[in-house]
Structure 1
Amino acid sequence: MSRLPRRLRPWFRRLPVVARLVLAVAVTMSLVLAGAAGLVYWRVQTALDRQLNDDLTTYQRSLDQAVRDGVQPPPGPSGSLQQVLDARGRVLVSSAALRDRPLLSVAELGATAHGATVRRDVGSLLPITSDTLRLQARRVTVGGQGRIVIAAVRRGHRDEALRELLAQLALASGLTLIAASYVGYRTARAALRPVERYRAGAAGLADGAQNLRLDVPADRDDEITRLGHTLNHMLDRLEASAERERRFVADASHELRTPLTLMRAELDVALHRPRSADELAETLRSVDTEVQRLIDLSDALLDLEELGTTQHISRASAGLAGLLAAAVAPHLRTAGLEGRAVTVEAPGTEVDVDTRWLRPAIGNLLDNALRHATGDVRLTAAVHEGRLRLCVTDEGTGFPPEFLPRAFDRFARAEASRTGRGSGLGLAFVQAVAAAHGGTAHAENTGHGARVVLDLPC
């Protein structure tokens, strides 16, 4: 159908899929049937013409010999006719059915007089005409004078056979085309019926249906079935995504409400009665803390949104040791005030990563370890077969077992730390950075603390 005229293509594309398939089948079958019918007709016509020409040639020879010998022409095949003309085209001898009817044109007479053999048909196959003939004319010399001998045979039986063949081919082709179109229609409808069910299911989902899944046969493995499984998988992902979004909105509302409520309470207390300058300063410091908490939360959400919508991160070659040193430096003072150490073990090699995102991700891991654990913190890095493995290990009590499966969810925090500092977005940011690099992040307990591992292609 790509060969359709340009003006017909919009009309064809507007047709339903079933109609387009049936039309394609019908057009293709029409071409095939027309070709097959044409081949059959040509073979039969060739055989009939060969037989007719053989009879005509044999009869012509006998007529030529009879004219040369000056004897009565012998009888020819059934329905044969004859005519003998002089050099000027006057009829000397003619079958009774022909009488003096001229069979040759002036040009044909001239060609025959110069020695050419003329063969042609009189009358046509369609529409039906009477006295259809095939004639052959040749020049014969008799007693030094030229004669034109015309042999003719009737084509009635031959034409009737061809007309009957045309009618049978047309009937057979028409019935075959109808049957093929019907089978194509039924096949297309049956093949697209699951697609219509899937469309109805998608329409139900658009109308707000919950927990919708498509009915996919379990005993098949064709393209439509695989489409159904893919759509069901997509619905699973959409439902999980919607659930995460609902949980995100609920958690974000809670996280935003808490500092706003505290600020409102502080301001209400400050405005309830006159306060000293020291008390007002303390109130402002408390409000400033909550404002900073809101800013940190907004920045974290914006970073996560940017990571989620960025198609490609900007990788560049960077020294691994320098990258880790830059990530650790802001946390050394905090660790020193608490009497803790942060150690780094890294090879002096180059890695191909986006330092803009990886450095704060490492910083989040160090901040979590310093905030929620005890003892020293160890950051190790190793490069093997094109992959960078970063581990941050602490000496605390580790993650609660029930918290590990959701440690990287947004706003996920262990119950013991929900009242502490932090928004619960640190590990979610770490996982987003790992995913943006095409890697993974996971957390585990070591028996002597917790370990968070980043595995990235570099």
Structure 2
Amino acid sequence: MTRPPGRLLTRFQRLPVVGRLVLAVALAMTLVLTGAAGLVYWRVEIALDGQLDEDLTAYQHTLDRAVRSGQDLPAGPNGSLRQVLDTHGRILRSSAAVRAQPLLTPAESAAAAHGAVVRRDIGALLPITTGTLRLRAERVTVGGQPRIVVAAVQRGHRDEALRELLAQLAFASGLTLLAASYVGYRTARAALRPVERYRLGAAALAAGADASPGLRLEVPTDRDDEITRLGHTLNRMLDRLAASAAREHQFIADASHELRTPLTLMRAELDVALHRPRTAEELTGTLRAVDAEARRLVTLANALLDLEQLGSGERIRRVPTALDRLLDDTCAQYRTAAVRDSRTLTVTYDQATVRVDPRWLEPAVGTLLDNALRHGRGAITLDARARDGRLCLTVSDEGPGFPPEFLPHAFDRFSRAEASRTTPGAGLGLALVAAVAASHDGSARAENIPPGATGTTGVTGASVVLDLPC
């Protein structure tokens, strides 16, 4: 019963990769060896047949001359046969071995009588038989009477040579196929051994990722082939998975740490309110306190979610944006706050169009202005310059600046300077600014303005710079 091609293909696809490679090599080599063997056999057969035909033709011509001259039929090569027939197929003269047995069939006799040259092989190459012949018959005229002269020579040596060639080709092809399959198997195993090692390593790392998050696959550094690049790709994937897990752990830790305080305060306020009867004024105060903590929770949750969204690798959407409109719209609300605090907010910018994501850049600039209003003093300056494909945004004030020990940690989550701990905030503003810069393939830095840099002796200040490609 023949299997459907689809089922065979399914079974082939279920084989291991090594098995499929070896089978493919074996099939390819079988086709190549069969073609090569067929070509060799064909060329040798042509050569042997050509030699046999030359001998048969020469013997035929000898018989023709003897029949025309009335001489006895000469003996030909060893094992050869000869006959002379009339046009009706009756044997007139013959070799002793086939004295009463005509070598031609009636149809062949008739064809030869009409002038055709008849050629035919008697016996097959396989299976092995005796008495294999190649005969040739043609019409000759003797004394005005047509006669058919038949010459036949033995094919034994030719057939034996071809059978020996077939055996040698089969033996050599079989050995070559076995050797090619073995080499293909060893090569496939050697090529896939690193893949299996990577798989085992990745499985071990996955099983012990929590205990050893920094472990990576061992990849040779002195090679640059496909398997090595696969190892580097897997290591990069492991790095991203580790970074994702670290962000997840950090998010959970940050959320649990920062959400605990407002929730505890809310619970305390509610417990006090429920402990004994309270007046309307006291209940109103409790509700206002709970509302303030709820707002703080919402602000904190939004900031954490924004940071997680940026840190998860979400692709920003850069669009052509007019720099003047972006900054004017962002600074509008902060100008009012600055006037209320008797401070000035000066905005300078280039008339340029930049490719940024305003969804994220606007809140980042707003965060810097809000920090300058809440933690700084004096005039606030926002300067934006677009030069050579980069946008440099600087927000500075004339306050006391950052504490030196705080500068290295200014963009860490929940990092707050001692002087700012009494003001509202969760310490996520600069972390969000740094995340926005990183998502634009840029950077953010915080620095203090040294005395005299603003033109006024003894005045310092703080400055935060966003450097983005645009």
TM-score by length of 1: 0.91
Aligned counterpart in structure 2 of residue 442 of structure 1, from 435, 444, 449? 444
CA contact (8 A) 2:437 2:444 kept: no
Q: Which residue of 1 aligns with 2:133?
A: 133
Task: State the shift of 1:357 in Å.
Answer: 2.9
Instruction: Work out whether 1:320 is the aligned partner of 2:332.
Output: no
Aligned counterpart in structure 1 of residue 272 of structure 2, from 269, 294, 300? 269
Instruction: Work out whether 1:363 is the aligned partner of 2:366.
Output: yes
SS of match in other structure, 1:152 = strand
Write the mapping of 1:28-427 to structure 2, written as runs, cut at 5 A: 28-209=28-209, 210-211=211-212, 212-307=215-310, 313-399=316-402, 403-404=406-407, 407-414=410-417, 417-418=420-421, 420-427=423-430
CA contact (8 A) 2:87 2:148 kept: yes
| Worse-matched range after superposition: 229-238 or 15-24 | 229-238
1:306-364 CA-partner distances (Å, limit 9, x unpaired): 55678654554442212101101111222223333221111223334433332222112
SS of match in other structure, 2:97 = coil
- Unaligned segments of structure 2, at least 5 residues: 451-460
CA contact (8 A) 1:341 1:377 kept: yes
Task: State the shift of 1:253 in Å.
Answer: 0.5
Q: Distance in 2 between matches of 1:215 and 1:77?
A: 77
Aligned partner of 1:299: which letter? Answer: N
Aligned partner of 2:442: which letter? Answer: T
CA contact (8 A) 1:373 1:398 kept: yes
1:41-87 CA-partner distances (Å, limit 9, x unpaired): 11111111111111111111111111111112222222221111111
Q: Distance in 1 between matches of 2:9 and 2:357?
A: 49
Task: State the shift of 1:127 in Å.
Answer: 1.2
1:2-29 CA-partner distances (Å, limit 9, x unpaired): xx95443222211110101111111111
Q: Describe the shift of the 1:403–1:165 C-alpha distance in structure 2 as closer, same or farther (beyond 3 A).
A: farther
Task: State the shift of 1:199 in Å.
Answer: 1.1
1:234-291 CA-partner distances (Å, limit 9, x unpaired): 3233223322321221111011111111112222233344444443333322221111
Task: State the shift of 1:385 in Å.
Answer: 4.0
1:172-202 CA-partner distances (Å, limit 9, x unpaired): 1111111111111111112211211211122
Aligned partner of 1:138: which letter? Answer: E
Q: Distance in 2 between matches of 1:102 and 1:260?
A: 119
Q: Describe the shift of the 1:96–1:404 C-alpha distance in structure 2 as closer, same or farther (beyond 3 A).
A: farther
1:193-248 CA-partner distances (Å, limit 9, x unpaired): 12112111222233244323223334433222222233223323322332232122
Q: Distance in 1 between matches of 2:31 and 2:127?
A: 25
| Worse-matched range after superposition: 41-50 or 69-78 | 69-78
CA contact (8 A) 1:315 1:354 kept: yes
SS of match in other structure, 1:57 = helix
CA contact (8 A) 1:439 1:454 kept: no
Q: Which residue of 2 aligns with 1:453?
A: 465
Instruction: Work out whether 1:430 is the aligned partner of 2:442.
Output: no
CA contact (8 A) 1:63 1:74 kept: yes
Q: Distance in 1 between matches of 2:403 and 2:136?
A: 110
Aligned partner of 2:201: which letter? Answer: G
CA contact (8 A) 2:136 2:152 kept: yes
**Identity between Structure 1 and Structure 2 (%):** 67
Q: Distance in 2 between matches of 1:5 and 1:19?
A: 19
Q: Which residue of 1 aligns with 2:456?
A: none
Q: Distance in 1 between matches of 2:401 and 2:72?
A: 128
| Worse-matched range after superposition: 205-214 or 260-269 | 205-214
Aligned partner of 1:63: which letter? Answer: L
Q: Describe the shift of the 1:265–1:431 C-alpha distance in structure 2 as closer, same or farther (beyond 3 A).
A: same
Q: Distance in 1 between matches of 2:118 and 2:403?
A: 109
Q: Distance in 2 between matches of 1:111 and 1:412?
A: 112
Q: Describe the shift of the 1:450–1:181 C-alpha distance in structure 2 as closer, same or farther (beyond 3 A).
A: farther
TM-score by length of 2: 0.88
CA contact (8 A) 1:388 1:456 kept: yes
Q: Distance in 1 between matches of 2:99 and 2:401?
A: 124
Aligned partner of 1:441: which letter? Answer: S
Q: Describe the shift of the 1:278–1:32 C-alpha distance in structure 2 as closer, same or farther (beyond 3 A).
A: same
SS of match in other structure, 1:452 = strand
Q: Distance in 2 between matches of 1:226 and 1:414?
A: 45
CA contact (8 A) 2:361 2:436 kept: yes
Q: Distance in 1 between matches of 2:409 and 2:130?
A: 96
SS of match in other structure, 1:254 = helix
CA contact (8 A) 1:252 1:411 kept: no
Q: Distance in 2 between matches of 1:223 and 1:276?
A: 77
SS of match in other structure, 1:149 = strand
The CA RMSD over aligned residues, in Å, is 2.5
Q: Distance in 1 between matches of 2:435 and 2:94?
A: 106
Q: Which residue of 1 aligns with 2:454?
A: none
| Worse-matched range after superposition: 306-315 or 234-243 | 306-315
Q: Describe the shift of the 1:32–1:450 C-alpha distance in structure 2 as closer, same or farther (beyond 3 A).
A: farther
